[in-house]
Amino acid sequence: MKRTVFRGGTVYDPASRTAGSADIAVEDGWIVDVGSGLEGDEEVDCTGRGVLPGLIDCHVHLTMTGSDVFESVQQPFSLQFYEGAVNMAKTLAAGVTTVRDAAGADLGMRVAQERGLVPGPRMQVSLNMLSQTGGHGDPWWPSTCVVDLLPPHPGRPPVIVDGPEEIRRKIRELVRAGADVIKVATSGGVVSSGAGPKIPHFRDDEIAMMVTEASAAGRHVMAHAHGEGAKAAVRNGVRSIEHGHFLDDETLAMMAERGTWLVPTLSAGVGLRRALEAGVPFPDHIAEKIRERAGGSVRRAAEAGVRIAMGTDAPLLPHGENLLELELLVEQGLSPADALHAATLSAAELMGVAEMLGSLTPGKRADLVVVDGDPLDVQDLGNRIVAVYQDGRAVHVAPPRR
């Protein structure tokens, strides 16, 4: 069995949130030793470079490309899966070796990656997003036409539901179709025809049913949620709040007490504002929601003791630019080490995979990212990636920097 040693790098340790010089020994895709002076059959020279655990993005949409809703719905149905393969490769090249797809990717995409048919990050998939009638995921528009970014197919069931019993059956359908996690919108959103983020969706008995049925199947619930919709989601036991604008002190205190995660997706706001400035033809009411910048939740959440995991909502910021999220988290008050923790061990804990991923420790899978310079400097980190390894195998090597 071949033993490879990654030698002499500055290794980021999420447990201590520090970085120091160390060698990492890998055998058969697993980390077997971390220390100094390790021996191996071959080595990767990491001198003068940083070594990070494979990064984790807890909120992506791999079958979506771009933020122009009306352009997207004019494309052939199956094109999304070919674009998805390209987006998977871009994500992997960005140092993101694991993702949680928050609606779009189906079981076949996850299996294709697992079998090595398509290069890309490891995946947990939600398939689609539960929405009430008239909610954030309802594709009906006031003109009575349907603008559906996630049209149903056998691997992605339709998800407009009302009432606990409809929800019970729908979650069972999603689990049958291969969902690893259940996604729901408990509030309105920005890029949809309906209510804005401050309007709550679903009642307590409906959200409680989601959590009960998901738990019975060994799944968690992730909630697109803002404001009062987030409070209801936390009150009824969801595992994570996605986006999380307009969170008041009571909601943050509940999240800290109950261990509810926040996945802020700060990149989404940056991407939408860029698209608006570039002339993407959003309807006036959506453009107004984009302009209504809602900041402060991340800083206040961290101060309240809420656990934070990294997510980007790509492609609102394009796939492959995922690591900008780290810079945005630092702008919101996290230290660089804490931002990296959000993208490694915290993200792994949220997704329930911390026994295998999230840190460079013996017994875990050998997902590593080699970067130029100090690994604790997240500024422009995406452009400093030298190589990405998955199970100890190089899956991306960047061209030499000029």
Mean pLDDT per 10-residue interval, the chain, length 402 residues: 94 97 97 95 96 98 83 86 97 98 98 97 98 89 76 94 98 98 92 75 98 98 96 98 95 98 94 80 72 75 97 96 97 97 98 98 98 97 97 94 68
Given a contact cutoff of 8 angstroms between Cβ atoms, the answer to whether 385 and 398 are in contact is yes
Give dist(CA 249, CA 219) in Å, integer. Answer: 28
- The CATH superfamily of 3-53+358-397 is Urease, subunit C, domain 1 (2.30.40.10)
For 295, phi and psi rounded to 5 degrees? -110, 180
Fold match between 3-53+358-397 and 55-322? no
Q: What fold is seen in the domain 55-322?
A: TIM Barrel (3.20.20)
Q: In the chain, what are the domain boundaries?
A: 3-53+358-397, 55-322
In sign, the C-alpha dihedral spanning 85, 109, 323, 9 is negative
| Angle at 232 (CA atoms; ends 227, 236), nearest 5 degrees | 150
Q: What pTM does this model have?
A: 0.95
DSSP result, 33-99: EEESS---SEEEE-TTEEEEEPEEEEEE-TT--SS-HHHHTTS-TTHHHHHHHHHHHHHHHTTEEEE
Whether the CB-CB separation of 37 and 361 falls below 8 Å is answered with no
The reported pLDDT for the residue numbered 22 is 97
The reported pLDDT for the residue numbered 279 is 78
pLDDT for the residue numbered 193 = 64
pLDDT computed for residue 294 by the predictor: 57
* Alpha-carbon 370 to chain mean position: 21
The per-residue pLDDT for 354 is 98
